Each structure stands twice: as C-alpha cells, then as structure tokens.
Structure 1
Amino acid sequence: MQFIDTHHDQWHTVGGEDGPMAHPPIKSHSLLTLAQWHAVRDQWPAKDAADHKPVGVILANDTDIEVLEADAAKLSLVVLQFPKWTDGRAYTQARILRARYRFGGEIRATGDVLVDMMPLLARTGFNAVVLRADQDRAAAERALGFFGARGHYQGDVQQTRPVFGRAA
C-alpha cells in the first residue's frame, strides 16, 4: 500500500479561481472531476499511445462505477472517496474496477480513511491511501499485516480463492 503525502503528491487537480475548470487543459498527472473527464476524454490517448499523459479521475462514492468502464484503458489513477468511514460504497467501486474492468492503475482512497480500514482496502483493490489527518502511518502499515499468511474465508481481488487454514 502506498501512503500519499498530499503536500508532495505529483497529481494535481485542475481548477480555476471559481472552482474546477469545465474544459481543463491536457497536462500530465492531472486529477480531474468526472465532469472534467467527460469534457476531455475523447481527446485523451490510451495508455499505450506515444502521446499519452497520465490522467486521473476523482469519483464520488455514490456514482455508478460503470461510467468509467469504457475509459479504464486511458486512466492511470482513480480516486475513490470515503465521506464517512462507515460508508463502504467505495470498497465496491474498487473491487469492480479491479475484478470486472481489470483496471491496472492506481486506486486511491481519500476522505475519512482510518487505520482500521487498511486490510479491507487492500483486499478490495486499493493500492494507495490518503489517511485522515489524525491517523498514524506506522499503525496503518502494521494493520496491513494483521492477517498475513493465515488468510481469509473469502477470496479477494489479489487471491481469488480462500487461503484460510492452508499454507500460503
């Protein structure tokens, strides 16, 4: 899991004085709202194109993840939001991106992200997080190892078959 320091992040939102720009300029490592992405996606080259610039999209957790199905090959980052730690819809969004759409880019959790969420974030496909300001990174790293080789009763996006009770 990658822990993002927002002060040193290479990704940047594209906004103007009055908020997000409706038609943002195409730049590398731009983090766009869904509306901004829809305004420029037809101009954006696929990841394997010579003129591809990494681009990311911020998606609210109440948005149907299917809006990104056709665009997964163009995106390098999808930021999924947890407005409250008790609202788990972003887990489902991440799992669908990884398992159904085979998204290989970065899936980042933002918002009310707590240390206790680390194992489930990893199991559902997140590979980067922005922890809530009062959370401890060292504790989050320890939380990722809680289950280790003992496994789980259910499969996940990395290990689709359960490994509980077997040697890993």
Structure 2
Amino acid sequence: MKFIAPHQDPWQRVVGEDGPVPHPPTVSHRLLTLEQWHAVREHWPRELPTAVEVANDFDIEGLVEDLPRLALVVLKFPKWVDGRAYSQARLLRSRYRFAGEIRATGEVLVDMLPLLQRCGFDAVTLRADQNLEAARRALGFFPAHYQGDVLQPQPVFAKVAA
C-alpha cells in the first residue's frame, strides 16, 4: 500500500475557469474530475498521464471504456461509514481488470486499510488526523483470510504441523 502525502502528490488537480489544459508547462500528471474528463476526453492526448476522481455514488461501469487511458482512479470516501467506494474498487479490479492505481481519499481511517487493500486499493491519502506508523502496522494485522479477495482469489491456509 502506498501512502500519499497531499503536499508531495505528483498528481495535480485541474482548476480554473477554462478547464483542463492538455500540455501545461510544469505539470505532467493531471487529476481531473469526472465532469472535466467527459468534457475533454475526445481531444485529450493519449500519451499524457491522466487520473480521474470519481464520487462514490457514480456507477463505475460508466468509466469502463476510458480505463485504458487512465493511470489512476481516485475513489472518494465522503464519510468513513459510507463504503460504496469499496465496491467500486472491487469492480474495477475484478470485473474490469483495471491495472492502474486505485487510490482512496477523503475520510480514510487506519482501521479501513486491510479491507481497502483486499478490495483492490493500492494507494491511500489518510485523513489528516491519522498516524502513518499505525497505518503501516494495520496492514500486517491479518496474515490470512478465509475468503478470497482481488489480490488472492482463493484463500491461502497455513499448513498445520501434525
């Protein structure tokens, strides 16, 4: 799991009245809202690394045709108790075979990390009050699971010495 510090994130949000500009002089990784992406995708350069931020109530199937052009999909957790982004990530990985980065943002707590990883997230931006060392430890709490996930479709059971 990659932990993203907002001030060190190479992906830059596109802001301004004119919308996204394909070739900015200083930024090579553009993070667009879904609305911005839909407005520019027809003429957006294919070689430009692009990311899209998606609300958790968006039907992820609406993004499927664009997935080959995206390097990153950012899924938002507006509240830590709203888990729809887990399902979005699971669909991106298992049904649509998205191989790019899937990042969780918003109200992302340390307690959520094991499930985020099992659903297909590979990067997170933790909520500001969360501890990075505690987050790293949380990923090691469960070495095996009874159910499969996007990383390991079949569970792996430890062999018991007889």
- Percent identity of equivalent pairs: 63
Per-residue deviation, 1:43: 2.1
Structure 2 partner of 1:3: 3
1:2-24, Cα deviation, whole Å (9 max, x unpaired): 100100111011111xxxx4641
For residues 132 and 53 of structure 1, what CA distance do their matches in structure 2 show? 29
Contact 2:22 2:45 in 1 (8 A): no
Please report the TM-score for the alignment, with normalisation by the length of structure 1.
0.88
Q: Which of 83, 96, 101 is 2:96 aligned to?
A: 101
Q: What is the aligned residue count?
A: 156
Shift of 1:164: 3.7
Instruction: Tell me, in whole angstroms, the C-alpha distance in 1 between the residues paired with 2:159 and 2:13.
Output: 45
> Is the 1:44–1:74 contact (alpha carbons within 8 Å) kept by the matching residues of 2?
no
Residues 64-79 of structure 1: pairs in structure 2 closer than 5 A: 64-79=59-74
1:113 equivalent in alignment to 2:96: no
Unmatched runs of 5 consecutive residues or more in structure 1 = 47-51
The Cα shift of 1:45 comes to: 4.7
**Once the two structures are superposed, what CA deviation does each residue of 1:33-62 show, in whole Å capped at 9, x if it has no partner?**
11110111122354xxxxx01100000000
Unpaired runs of at least 5, structure 2: none
Partner of 1:24: 20
DSSP-derived class of the 1:57 partner: strand
Please tell me whether the aligned partners of residues 45 and 74 of structure 1 are also in contact (alpha carbons under 8 angstroms): no
Q: 1: distance between equivalents of 2:159 and 2:90?
A: 24
CA RMSD of aligned residues (A): 1.4
> 2:34 matched to which residue of 1?
34
Could you state the TM-score of these two structures normalised by the residue count of structure 2? 0.91
